[in-house]
Structure 1
Amino acid sequence: METLHIGSIKLTWLNGGVTHMDGGAMFGVVPKPLWSKKYHVNEKNQIELRTDPILVQKDGVNLLIDSGIGRGKLTDKQKRNYGVTEESALDESLKTLGLTTGDIDGVLMTHLHFDHACGLTHDDGDKLASVFPNAVIYTSSIEWEEMKNPNIRSKNTYWKENWEPVQQQVKTFEQKLEVLPGITMHHTGGHSDGHSVIMLEDSGETALHMADIMPTHAHRNPLWVLAYDDYPMTSISAKQQWQAKAAETNAWYIFYHDACYRALKWDENGDIALSVKRERR
C-alpha cells in the first residue's frame, strides 16, 4: 500500500474497489481528443476510477477519507452500469496494518454519492449495519440533508441503504470543521451542493484533497469539470480558489479516484514535480 507523510500525519491508501465510468461524463464539455491525451480510456469509452479510502493517522487517531464502493452492496446490473470490476477489500487492507474497522475513529465524507458512501454499511444477517461502529462520520449539513431528502436528480446516487444504519454516528458542519489540529474540512459545493474538500497541515507541510471537484490529475484545468457536477460554475470557482491556496503552500494533491497517482505536486509550469504513483496489483 502506498503511503505519504505530511509532517507527523501519515496517509495510507486502502483498497476500496474500482469503477469504470463514461469518459465523456467525467470530462463534461471537454472534447475527447483533448482529455484522452491526459487519461487512459478503454474501448467502451470508460475511464478507470479507483474508490480507495485514505487512512489518515495522527497522534494515535485513525481517520478515513471516504469509505469505498463497499462489498456485496451492488446488484449485477449496477456493477455492469458502473463498471465495477473489483469491490472493497477494506478489512484486508486494515488487517495488513494491524487494524480493524472497529479501530476507525472518524470517517471524513467529502460527499455522500454512492461511490463514496457505499462502504459505510454492510449486510449483517437480515439487516444493514455500520462498517465503522466506533467512528464519527463527518459531512456538511447541506450534504446530509440532501442525502436524506434527495431530489429527482440526486436520488440516483443518494441511497437510504448508505445513511439509515449510520445516522446516529453522523456529525455535520456548516462551512468549516477542524477534525483534529491541522486536519480541516471545508464546504465548497459544486460537484454536489454539500461537497467538501480536506486540508492537511503539519510541520510546514500541506496536502489538499479536492475530492470530486478534481477527481484525477487530468482534471487540473479549472474548466475541466464533470457532467455529473450539479453546479459546474461553483466547481470552477472552487477549483480556482483552492488551487491558489495549494500554490501558496506548495501543497501535495491527494486523490481518491485517480488510477495513476495517489498524490503529486505540480511545479509553476504545470509539470509534475513529485508524485506517489499507484502500484498496480
Structure 2
Amino acid sequence: MSDKNKFTLSITESPSRFKDLEKMEVADLIRSINEEDAKVHIAVKEALPQIEQLIVRIIDRMKQGGRLFYLGAGTSGRLGVLDASELPPTFGVPDTLVIGLIAGGDVALRKAVEDAEDDPHMAWEELKKYNISKLDTVIGIAASGTTPYVIGGIRKARKNGILTGCITCNPDSDIARVAEFPIEAIVGPEFITGSTRLKAGTAQKMILNMITTTLMIKLGKVKGNKMVNMQLNNRKLINRGTHMLMEELSLDQETAQDLLIRYGSVKKAIDGYNKSRRQ
C-alpha cells in the first residue's frame, strides 16, 4: 500500500486499553473511568506554557475592545458555547464579549446536525456576521484536530490578521499547524474508544475555564477572590453579594443588602459606598 493510502490512527481514535466493558461490574467501571480522568490533570499541566502564551496575547486585545470567539463541533462546540454563556452572569460582562459558535447552529446544542462539521467555509461566514476584526481572537476547539469547520475558520481568520489559537488532544494535528498558538492536551486513548466527550472533553473544559477565568480577573471583573460583578439573578446570588459587602465594608446585613439592591452589583456598591464616605 502506498503512503498516500495509509490510514494513521490518531491518539483520540486509538483503542481503549480496557477490554469487554460490558462484562465489568459497576464498581470496576467507575474506578477505571476515574483512573483515566486522573490523567487529564497531568496533560493539562504540561500544556500550561502554551495556555499562558495565548492568554497573554488575548488580554492585550481585550483591553483595546477585542472579543473572543470559539469555534467547535459536537462536544467541543457545546463546551465553547457553555463557557461563553456562563461569563455574563458570573462576571457581569456583555454576551458579546465571548461568543461560542457551533457547527450546525444552536440546534446542534441538543441534536447532532449531519455533515455540519464537514463544511470548511461555514465558520468564516458566521464570523463575518459579527464584523470580526484584528482586535478579536478566534480559538478553535477540536479534540481530533481535524474538524473541517474549525480548521477552515481558523485558517481564514489567521489569513485576515486575526489572533488564532486552538485546543486539541492530538499532537501535530492539522489544526495545530494552522493556528498561531496551539494548545495540545494529550490525554491518551479514551475509556470507550473514540469517545472524546470523556477525557478530551474534560481537558477542553479545564482549559476553557483557565482561559476565561484568567481573562476576567485581568480585566478587573474580580476583587480579591470575589465575583463582584456577578448578575443578581436570584436570591442565592443576592445573599452571596450581601455577605461580600458585609465582609468588605463591615456592614450589618440589612444595610449591606439595601446597598447591593440600590447599586445592582457588589463592585458598584463598594465604589459608591467608599465615594460617599469620602465626601
TM-score w.r.t. structure 1 length? Answer: 0.29
Question: Highest CA radius of gyration, 1 or 2?
Answer: 2
Task: Return the structure number with greater strand share.
Answer: 1
The structure, 1 or 2, with the larger RCO (C-alpha pairs under 8 Å, 6+ apart) is 2
Task: Return the structure number with greater helix share.
Answer: 2
